[in-house]
């Protein structure tokens, strides 16, 4: 399997090259030239454990670049850190099924990909003897999951940027209390989009990228998407055992279009998903592009689901590439317009095609809080991101849906208290975290200053 850039100006890459490279050198995103078709293998896959299923799904994407035994070991090690034996259990409530994706070490779905990516990086570096300096931007959950994925790992240093004061106190502490020498936290004055832009600028400075061996853990990294495909299959199989005749509909709270893009790929790989409900909060650029065909950047606003407070949705470019029939020239022109005018348009036919797959729903804060309150009353507390997806499913025309629970409610205690008047139960993992020793640097959103922080850290190694 080769990986090509959505902008068509980079050489195709192998799997390992794609993992290390992150963003393609022409500024595009790497996508596999084709996806494997599993439609005739669903029977064979349906009773596998989560880890064995992951193995089967990864094999064609890894394409023999890791031997099967090594791949299996990496997968097993990655999910050993989860505190549920099924890794992503499916729970049935009265109205919807909830896919719990928060049983990893940082209590959000990003652990599922980043535990594996951390182990994969370490394996690739140990065989090449190279070093990798990861630079990432986080709206809260990616950062802690990435830091926990690579902390203490040989050959890797991680620089994680977050928007100062715009993530929850627990999210912040989950990053800044990791005191391993290879972890550098940077709080920038600005929004998540500013942080993400800095990271993109660093990667687009090819000379700097090469000199500093920069690598990516943001969902621009292909492995993030690949690892997330697994739980769509796993959940579909559990759902079918429970409700053999209901259509498969997933509801996905989304910001950067990473999680839901994995669902799109699962569908393309032959999982019979009828619809993907695309659930946004007030930062609704994805809702707007699917309903109107116009992708237009507006101001980001802060909400109670901060991990989705995003206006520039990186992974959407991967889907667009499919939508325009893999025409890299068209992607370059769309992205050019986005850069110069802050918007681009889909053709009416393209928007129709997108709506065949995605059902967009925008959920406001009031609806989110009401949904948390309602589920809490029924004995199941959900976090505000999960609540956006659940509220979207309830508003949609589909009367059964698998809702992705992307974070543990304790990560977003303020929103839960606001909705229910009660504090969510604290998992043991978070005991005492708010008072632990922490370390973090503050920076303006100036590229030179960020480069200075990176250079200073690397010069001491
Ligand atoms: C990252 C995140 C999301 C959004 O996922 P995307 O892949 O960016 O769409 C939703 N909920 C939580 C809790 C997250 O951490």
Q: Which band of pLDDT confidence, cut at 50, 70 and 90, is reported for residue 345? A: very high
Mean pLDDT across the chain: 95
Is 280 close to ligand 1, i.e. is its CB under 6 Å away? no
- Tell me, rounded to whole angstroms, the distance of Cα 420 from its chain centroid: 28
Residue 193 lies in a domain: no
Cα first-last separation, the chain: 36
Alpha carbons 374 and 405: distance in angstroms, whole number: 16
Alpha carbons 411 and 364: distance in angstroms, whole number: 20
Q: Give the count of alpha carbons within 13 A of 1, CB side only.
A: 22
Residue 32 lies in a domain: no
Q: Is the pLDDT of residue 69 over 80?
A: yes
- Nearest C-alpha neighbor of 109 from the set 234, 281, 247: 234
Q: Is the pLDDT of residue 126 over 80?
A: yes
Alpha carbons 189 and 133: distance in angstroms, whole number: 23
Q: What is the mean pLDDT of residues 292-307?
A: 93
Look at 318 and 429; give whichever has higher pLDDT: 318
Is 407 close to ligand 1, i.e. is its CB under 6 Å away? yes
> What domain count does the chain have?
1
CA of 260 to the centre of ligand 1 (A): 9
- Its pTM stands at 0.95
The Cα angle at residue 155 between residues 20 and 211, in degrees rounded to 5: 60
Provide the β-strand partners of residue 214: 133
- Nearest C-alpha neighbor of 133 from the set 164, 114, 156: 156
Q: Is the pLDDT of residue 424 over 80?
A: yes
Alpha-helix residue ranges (DSSP H) falling in 342-436 = 348-357, 365-377, 384-395, 413-420
Give me the pLDDT at residue 314, please.
86
Q: What is the mean pLDDT of residues 53-69?
A: 97
DSSP of 229-249 = HHHHHHHHHHHHHH-TTS-EE
- From residue 156, alpha-carbon distances to 8, 76, 87, 221, 312 in Å are 30, 21, 26, 16, 28
- Nearest C-alpha neighbor of 286 from the set 321, 311, 322, 318: 311
Alpha-helix residue ranges (DSSP H) falling in 247-382 = 258-268, 285-292, 316-323, 328-341, 348-357, 365-377
Are 146 and 140 in contact, with CB atoms under 8 Å apart? no
Residue 411 lies in a domain: yes
Is 405 close to ligand 1, i.e. is its CB under 6 Å away? no
Give me the pLDDT at residue 174, please.
95
Q: Is the pLDDT of residue 3 over 80?
A: yes
CATH of the domain at 283: 3.40.50.1100
Catalytic, out of 110, 164, 200, 275:
110
Instruction: Name the residue of 100, 105, 108, 138 to mutate for ligand 1: max ligand atoms within 8 A of Cβ.
Output: 108
Is 385 close to ligand 1, i.e. is its CB under 6 Å away? yes
Are 300 and 191 in contact, with CB atoms under 8 Å apart? yes
Residue 422 lies in a domain: yes
Q: Write out pLDDT tens, residues 162-189.
A: 999 988 888 999 999 999 999 999 999 9
Residue 169 lies in a domain: no
Q: What is the mean pLDDT of residues 52-64?
A: 97
Alpha carbons 389 and 281: distance in angstroms, whole number: 9
Residue 131 lies in a domain: no
118 Cβ neighbours under 8 A, 6+ residues apart:
78, 146, 148, 149, 150, 153, 156
Q: Which atom of ligand 1 is nearest to the CA of 407?
A: 13
Residue 256 lies in a domain: yes
CA of 308 to the centre of ligand 1 (A): 6
Give me the pLDDT at residue 405, please.
98
The Cα angle at residue 274 between residues 271 and 279, in degrees rounded to 5: 105
Q: Is the pLDDT of residue 219 over 80?
A: no
- From residue 1, alpha-carbon distances to 228, 232, 260, 266, 353 in Å are 18, 22, 22, 17, 26
438 Cβ neighbours under 8 A, 6+ residues apart:
172, 173, 176, 177, 179
Q: Which atom of ligand 1 is nearest to the CA of 385?
A: 11
Instruction: Name the residue range of residue 333's domain.
Output: 90-106+223-428
DSSP single-letter state for residue 39: G
**Strand 97-100 versus strand 402-405 pairing type:** parallel
Is 21 close to ligand 1, i.e. is its CB under 6 Å away? no
Is 384 close to ligand 1, i.e. is its CB under 6 Å away? no
Give me the pLDDT at residue 146, please.
96
Is 100 close to ligand 1, i.e. is its CB under 6 Å away? no
Q: Write out pLDDT tens, residues 346-401.
A: 999 999 999 999 999 999 999 999 999 999 999 999 999 999 999 999 999 998 99
Q: Is 110 a catalytic residue?
A: yes
Q: What is the mean pLDDT of residues 410-429?
A: 94
180 Cβ neighbours under 8 A, 6+ residues apart:
151, 152
Q: Which band of pLDDT confidence, cut at 50, 70 and 90, is reported for residue 85? A: very high
Q: Residue 199 is inside which H or E element, if any?
A: helix 192-204
Q: Is the pLDDT of residue 446 over 90?
A: yes
Q: Which band of pLDDT confidence, cut at 50, 70 and 90, is reported for residue 129? A: confident
Nearest CA to ligand 1 atom 12: 406
CA of 130 to the centre of ligand 1 (A): 31
CA of 40 to the centre of ligand 1 (A): 31
Q: Is the pLDDT of residue 223 over 90?
A: yes
Residue 340 lies in a domain: yes
Task: Quote the radius of gyration of the chain (alpha carbons, Å).
Answer: 20
Q: Range with the lowest mean pLDDT among 168-172, 327-331, 341-345?
A: 168-172
């Amino acid at each position: 399997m080769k990986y090509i850039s959505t902008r068509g100006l980079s050489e195709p890459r192998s799997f390992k090259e794609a993992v290390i490279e992150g963003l393609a050198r022409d500024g595009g995103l790497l996508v596999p030239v084709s996806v494997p078709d599993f439609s005739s293998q669903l029977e064979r896959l349906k009773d596998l454990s989560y880890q064995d299923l992951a193995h089967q799904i990864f094999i064609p994407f890894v394409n023999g670049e890791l031997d099967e035994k090594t791949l299996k070991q990496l997968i097993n090690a990655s999910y050993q850190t989860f505190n549920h034996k099924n890794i992503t259990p499916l729970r049935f409530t009265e109205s919807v099924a909830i896919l719990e994706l928060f049983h990893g070490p940082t209590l959000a779905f990003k652990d599922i990909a980043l535990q594996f990516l951390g182990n994969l990086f370490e394996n690739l570096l140990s065989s090449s003897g190279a070093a990798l300096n990861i630079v990432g931007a986080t709206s809260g959950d990616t950062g802690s999951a990435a830091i926990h994925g690579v902390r203490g790992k040989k050959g890797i240093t991680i620089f994680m940027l977050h928007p100062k004061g715009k993530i929850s106190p627990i999210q912040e502490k989950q990053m800044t209390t990791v005191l391993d020498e290879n972890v550098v936290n940077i709080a920038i004055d600005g929004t998540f989009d500013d942080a993400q832009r800095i990271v993109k600028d660093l990667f687009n400075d090819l000379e700097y990228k090469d000199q500093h061996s920069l690598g990516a853990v943001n969902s621009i990294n292909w492995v993030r998407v690949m690892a997330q495909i697994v739980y769509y299959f796993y959940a579909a199989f559990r759902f079918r055992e429970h409700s053999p005749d209901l259509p498969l509909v997933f509801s996905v709270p989304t910001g950067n279009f990473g999680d839901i893009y994995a669902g799109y790929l699962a569908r393309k790989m032959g999982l019979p998903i009828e619809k993907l409900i695309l659930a946004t909060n007030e930062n609704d650029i994805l809702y707007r592009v699917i309903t109107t065909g116009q992708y237009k950047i507006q101001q980001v606003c802060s909400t109670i689901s901060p991990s989705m407070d995003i206006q520039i949705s990186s992974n959407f470019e991967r889907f667009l590439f499919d939508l325009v029939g893999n025409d890299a020239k068209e992607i370059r022109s769309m992205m050019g317009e986005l850069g110069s005018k802050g918007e681009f348009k889909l053709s009416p036919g393209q928007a129709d095609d997108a709506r065949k797959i995605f059902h967009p729903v925008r959920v406001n804060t009031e609806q989110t809080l009401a949904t948390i309150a309602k589920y809490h009353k029924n004995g199941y507390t959900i976090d505000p991101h999960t609540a956006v997806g659940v509220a979207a499913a309830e508003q949609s025309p589909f009367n059964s849906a698998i809702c992705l629970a992307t974070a543990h409610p304790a990560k977003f205690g303020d929103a839960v208290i606001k909705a229910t008047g009660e504090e969510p139960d604290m998992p043991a993992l978070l005991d005492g975290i708010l008072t632990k020793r922490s370390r973090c640097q503050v920076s303006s959103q100036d590229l030179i200053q960020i480069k200075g922080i990176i250079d200073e850290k690397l010069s001491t190694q």
